[in-house]
């Protein structure tokens, strides 16, 4: 009788579902460690495909260039693109990486002498009578020596850690190589894959919202391609010029500094100063004059980039005022680190585009406010004129 009554039947089903969900939740919590391990394993295995997607995204503009501008087939375009990529990697492996590792090892071996130079410099200052009395009275000298030793240990640890990471980089290299193979298939079939992603989006979300999401992705992708693509070319040119100039002025660790200058140049406004300061600090221990020369050389290169090369290549394509670029770099770096700083400019440009669309959508209200502000300004001007006449 109970099961014939719909009211009791629904209640019993609800209770059974609650019990099953409760048991499942309890088991899930009880085996949370195993679940986390499974998720980690899944993410680790999926990283190969993540690498493949990123590589395909980076190489796609080059493939499109060969395909559309040079009028080559998709397969030949991909083959040429990979030939350029592999050639660049081989050149870097043969000529760049050995020198880079040698520079890092040399810095590591010279750190103790750099620390001794700093200690001697500080001790020379502290030996002056007035300074010595103040230092001994305040008990600061012991703290200064302690902090110098700590700084030296931190630098040594960082250098040893970077060398260790280079040695244990093999798993990442294997994933990168497999990612290169995955990227080939993504590039061959990219239109179909994008269509499938779009179709899934339309199935999950309403058509109107899906269209807005697709439009946003296209806009953001365009900004990323415009900024990062051109900025990468700009940074490559600056890195090569830095290497040539640093060799001319006989800078220490020219390869390391040139690579650092090229990489940090990707970050607007802040990036170039990092390269200049590190170049100065590395060379100032060898000779203060050399440190200043290297700093001025890199500063002059930054001026050339900021006033001539960067405007020529990028121009007003991003179209965001410097204040908002700096603001977005600070916020992006604070939340997402170097990647956030790199994507700060295209993100700010995308926000500006959508802000412009919002203004266009509410044009009537904006015009009313503008007219009201103009009227207020005119009233103030009239009052000022009348006040001057009365005087």
Whether the predicted pLDDT of 79 surpasses 90: yes
166-185 pLDDT, tens digit each: 555 566 778 888 889 999 99
Distance CA 97, CA 122 (A): 36
| Stretch 300-306: mean pLDDT | 88
pLDDT score, position 181: 92
Count of all residues that appear for the chain in the document: 391
Distance CA 384, CA 260 (A): 57
Whether the predicted pLDDT of 27 surpasses 80: no
Q: State the angle between helix axes of 344-361 and 322-342 in degrees (0 to 180), rounded to the nearest 10.
A: 130
HSE, side-chain direction, 13 A CA sphere, residue 377: 6
pLDDT score, position 337: 82
Whether the Cβ atoms of residue 268 and residue 344 lie closer than 8 Å to each other: yes
Distance CA 386, CA 333 (A): 53
More confident residue, 249 or 128: 249
Please report, rounded to a whole number, the percentage of residues in the chain having pLDDT higher than 70: 71
Whether the predicted pLDDT of 45 surpasses 80: no
Whether the Cβ atoms of residue 59 and residue 183 lie closer than 8 Å to each other: yes
Distance CA 167, CA 227 (A): 33
Question: Cα–Cα distances in Å, from 15 out to 10, 32, 117?
Answer: 9, 25, 77
Write 172-181 long-range contacts (CB < 8 A, 24+).
175/47, 175/48, 175/51, 176/51, 176/55, 178/48, 178/51, 178/52, 179/48, 179/49, 179/50, 179/51, 179/52, 179/54, 179/55, 180/52, 180/55, 180/82, 181/52
Average confidence score pLDDT of the chain: 77
Q: Is this prediction's pTM over 0.75? A: no
Please report, rounded to a whole number, the percentage of residues in the chain having pLDDT higher than 90: 12
Q: State the angle between helix axes of 271-284 and 254-264 in degrees (0 to 180), rounded to the nearest 10.
A: 160
| Reported confidence tier of residue 80, pLDDT bands at 50, 70, 90 | very high
More confident residue, 233 or 38: 233
82-108 pLDDT, tens digit each: 999 899 888 877 777 777 677 667 766
| Stretch 152-170: mean pLDDT | 56
């Amino acid at each position: 009788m109970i099961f014939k009554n719909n009211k009791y039947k629904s209640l019993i089903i609800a209770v059974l579902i609650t019990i099953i969900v409760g048991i499942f939740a309890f088991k899930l919590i009880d085996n949370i460690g195993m679940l986390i391990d499974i998720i980690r394993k899944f993410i680790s295995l999926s990283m190969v495909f993540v690498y493949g997607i990123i590589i395909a995204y980076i190489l796609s503009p080059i493939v499109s260039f060969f395909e559309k501008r040079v009028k080559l087939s998709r397969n030949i375009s991909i083959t040429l693109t990979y030939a350029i990529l592999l050639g660049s990697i081989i050149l870097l492996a043969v000529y760049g990486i050995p020198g880079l590792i040698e520079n890092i090892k040399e810095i590591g071996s010279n750190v103790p002498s750099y620390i001794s130079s700093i200690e001697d410099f500080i001790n020379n200052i502290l030996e002056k009578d007035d300074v010595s009395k103040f230092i001994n009275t305040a008990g600061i000298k012991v703290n200064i020596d302690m902090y110098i030793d700590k700084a030296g240990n931190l630098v040594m640890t960082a250098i040893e850690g970077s060398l260790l990471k280079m040695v244990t980089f093999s798993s990442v290299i294997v994933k990168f190589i497999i990612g290169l193979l995955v990227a080939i298939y993504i590039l061959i079939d990219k239109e179909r894959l994008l269509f499938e992603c779009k179709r899934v989006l339309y199935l999950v979300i309403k058509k109107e919202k899906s269209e807005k999401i697709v439009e946003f992705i296209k806009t953001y992708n365009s900004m990323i391609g415009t900024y990062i693509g051109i900025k990468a070319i700009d940074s490559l040119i600056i890195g090569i010029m830095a290497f040539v100039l640093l060799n001319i002025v006989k800078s220490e660790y020219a390869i390391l500094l040139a690579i650092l200058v090229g990489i940090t140049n990707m970050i607007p406004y802040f990036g170039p100063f990092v390269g200049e300061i590190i170049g100065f600090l590395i060379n100032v221990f060898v000779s203060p004059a050399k440190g200043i020369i290297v700093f001025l050389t890199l500063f002059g290169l930054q001026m050339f980039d900021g006033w001539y090369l960067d405007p020529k290549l990028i121009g007003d394509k991003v179209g965001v005022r410097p204040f908002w670029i700096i603001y977005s770099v600070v916020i992006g770096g604070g939340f997402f680190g170097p990647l956030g700083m790199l994507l700060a400019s295209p993100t700010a440009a995308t926000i500006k585009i959508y802000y412009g669309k919002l203004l266009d959508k509410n044009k009537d209200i904006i015009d009313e406010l503008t007219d009201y502000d103009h009227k207020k300004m005119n009233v103030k001007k009239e009052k000022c004129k009348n006040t001057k006449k009365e005087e």
